[in-house]
Structure 1
Amino acid sequence: MHYHPASLTWALIELSKNIGVQQRLREELAQIPDRDPTWDELTNSLPYLDAVVCETLRLHPPGSETVRQAEVDDIVPLSKPMKDADGQLIDSIFIASGTNIRIPTASINRSEALWGQDAKVFVPDRWLDGSVSQQLASEIQGHRHILTFADGPRTCLGKSFALAEFKAVLSVLIRNFSFELPDGTHAGFEIHRAILDRPKVVGRDDDKIPLLVRRVS
């Protein structure tokens, strides 16, 4: 699996809105002079790049949901009791064989109950300051506690390559170019729904994203 181009677009949007984050990332990448990062450096030696990529994939997963089908009857325990349609308090849900189950990846990734009050805000530092381990999100089984790559036997087999590819492309762009929003930092963006979600400017019919790009001297 390759990373989805929409993920790179979202990363550039967030970095254009957060110039301080963009500059900090550029400074980290400058620690590797005159060459592109190696595989080991991309995967192990650039913590802020990793944080920016993880936060992008958390906040803007390419797929807003994942669908799975139950192969056998099962009873799924709930993390806390809830009321059913009849108002009865239940602590588990029966799932019959053949039932399609929709997993709301984007909603889980942005849940304030799981990630805290800043769940819908782009904060790469959450991956560096230990705050993730203090949130309920730390109980999520998945790559870095997000469900962007799904989890379990059907997790994305190519996620390691996809992450390295994402980091490689982003690192080349940020080392050589600066990115800004042409209409200031308050331009609104929304999701263009498709097989894989893409960003679009609020009020526009197409999904083109205008950015001011300048070569870094």
Structure 2
Amino acid sequence: MPTQYHSTARYTSATAPGALPLLGHAPALLRNPPDFVAGLAAHGDLVRIRLGPLTAYVVCHPDLVRRLLTEDRTYDKGGIVVEKAREAFGNGLATCPAADHRRQRRMLQPAFHRDRLPGYAALMAEEIAATTGGWRDGDVVDVPAAMYRLSTAVTARCLFAAHERAGSLPVHAAMDQVARGVARRMVLPLPGADRVPTPGNRRFARARRDLREITDRLIADYRTAGTDHHDLLSMLLGARDEDGRGLSDDEVHDQVVTFLLAGMETTAATLSWAWTLLAANPAVRERLHTELDTVLDGRPARHQDLPALPLTARIVSETLRLHPPAWILSRTTTTATELGGHPLPAGATVLYSPYLLHRRADLFPCPDRFDPDRWLTTARPAPGIYTPFGLGARRCIGEAFGSTEAALALAGIAAHWSVTPTPGRPVRPQRSASLSPRPFTATLARRIR
């Protein structure tokens, strides 16, 4: 369990070394984004970096991260990460400014009420069984691609249950291209670069059009039918604010794309990394198999099984610590302020990184070690230390949904299959808006209990 961090020391400020003329720290960030950001903590608690013409402040101390995430009127959703994401995904719950957030959150909260989780979990279990039903002993699969297919099927099914082939909607490729495009624009925000007709920009524009066409068609079909299918899209169309107003088609589109991105990227990345961690830690994997054999006895995992699968849950938590999908996020100051005793101008871009926090040795002993048992203690980490789902009023609305999906998928697959990555090639993160692994293969072996 992480250290309960309370410091009375003065918070330090510094400028990261190694900036290049014109480009700043962008080349270093492009070479190895997560590790470059994690290394900034060695320079201070609040570290300035340059990305092309932009100066950004990276918050490296958990106390300051807590302030950043809880004082959302001063530190609003904005900055380079959010602005580029907003251009791509619209003004959904994850990217909207504080002025829109309360209304959106209140309207969407019923869709994620805990009473709805068992129904979503039943759909998740069906898609997990359908995906793994086509696997054969000895198959060699691209693990991230397989996990994306699974998470796409689950997310689309929960969003669009009325669609006969929701799991096969062509959203995965489009979402992947959009996420990659956001990452490129975030790292090197040169003026006008988005409009240059490069192959990457053309793919990005085409993917955005494809997403728009898919979601617009589904929204129109649902509105025409006027039926409550007890899925997320029906909830969005039926949501009303305090004045009785519903969401416009554009607002529904933005929320759908937001949920698609969060549901697909987060779970797929988490599961992909989990298989690499379990393969490298066979003792933990054997304990997981024992837990699943004892509780499930050969049947599929269900929502009511989760309380009896504590190791499964801890593996998900530890995977999210080591590889948080939303590894870097941004805020913008709405007024001139201070953070840790250091002045920030109005309109400043402020970045924080769960990856950076989760790799601090003073917060997590032996931070690079995969140790699910560090979560055995009942104490909760102080706010601002473990932040895979954010903090405060902007904490991820789908946290329970995503955690349930990841645990069910991990349990449903590991109960029947061993996933062994091909040796000899280290798995590294790709350059994307989320901390997803680059393609790697693994051999599937059917387990005999």
TM-score of Structure 1 vs Structure 2, range by shorter chain:
0.7 to 0.9
Partner residue in 2 for 1:177: 417
Task: Write the letter of the residue equivalent to 1:29.
Answer: L
Question: Residue deviations 1:148-186, cap 9 Å, x none?
Answer: 1111111110010000001111111100101223326xx
Matched, 1:36 2:300: yes
SS in 2 for 1:122: coil
Matched, 1:152 2:401: no
Partner residue in 2 for 1:126: 374
**Separation of aligned partners in 1, 2:312 and 2:426:** 25
2:324 corresponds to which of 57, 61, 64: 61
Partner residue in 1 for 2:14: none
| Alignment map for 1:66-215 (pairs within 5 Å) | 66-77=329-340, 92-116=341-365, 118-128=366-376, 130=377, 133=379, 138-141=381-384, 145-183=385-423, 187-199=425-437, 207-215=438-446
SS in 2 for 1:113: coil
**Separation of aligned partners in 1, 2:335 and 2:309:** 43
* TM-score after normalising by structure 1: 0.77
Runs of 5+ consecutive residues of structure 2 not aligned to the other structure: 1-261
Q: C-alpha root-mean-square deviation of aligned residues, in Å?
A: 2.0
Runs of 5+ consecutive residues of structure 1 not aligned to the other structure: 78-91, 200-206
Higher share in strand: 1
Q: Is the 8 A contact 2:298 2:415 kept in 1?
A: no
Highest Rg: 1 or 2? Answer: 2
Partner residue in 2 for 1:204: none
SS in 2 for 1:108: helix
**Separation of aligned partners in 2, 1:16 and 1:34:** 22
Task: Write the letter of the residue equivalent to 1:191.
Answer: P
Q: Is the 8 A contact 1:17 1:181 kept in 2?
A: no
Question: Residue deviations 1:80-128, cap 9 Å, x none?
Answer: xxxxxxxxxxxx2233332221002211111112112x10111111111
Partner residue in 2 for 1:27: 290
Deviation at 1:188, TM superposition (A): 2.0
Partner residue in 1 for 2:123: none
SS in 2 for 1:138: coil
Partner residue in 1 for 2:281: 18
How many equivalent pairs are there? 184
Task: Write the letter of the residue equivalent to 1:213.
Answer: L
**Separation of aligned partners in 1, 2:346 and 2:310:** 43
**Separation of aligned partners in 2, 1:32 and 1:15:** 19
Deviation at 1:34, TM superposition (A): 4.0
**Separation of aligned partners in 1, 2:296 and 2:336:** 53
Task: Write the letter of the residue equivalent to 1:4.
Answer: T
Q: Is the 8 A contact 1:17 1:180 kept in 2?
A: no
SS in 1 for 2:327: coil
Q: Is the 8 A contact 2:279 2:420 kept in 1?
A: yes
**Separation of aligned partners in 1, 2:369 and 2:298:** 34
**Separation of aligned partners in 1, 2:393 and 2:334:** 13
**Separation of aligned partners in 1, 2:347 and 2:304:** 43
**Separation of aligned partners in 2, 1:111 and 1:47:** 25
Percent of residue pairs bearing the same amino acid type: 26
Task: Write the letter of the residue equivalent to 1:60.
Answer: H
Partner residue in 1 for 2:42: none
Q: Is the 8 A contact 1:7 1:56 kept in 2?
A: yes
Deviation at 1:17, TM superposition (A): 1.2
* TM-score after normalising by structure 2: 0.39
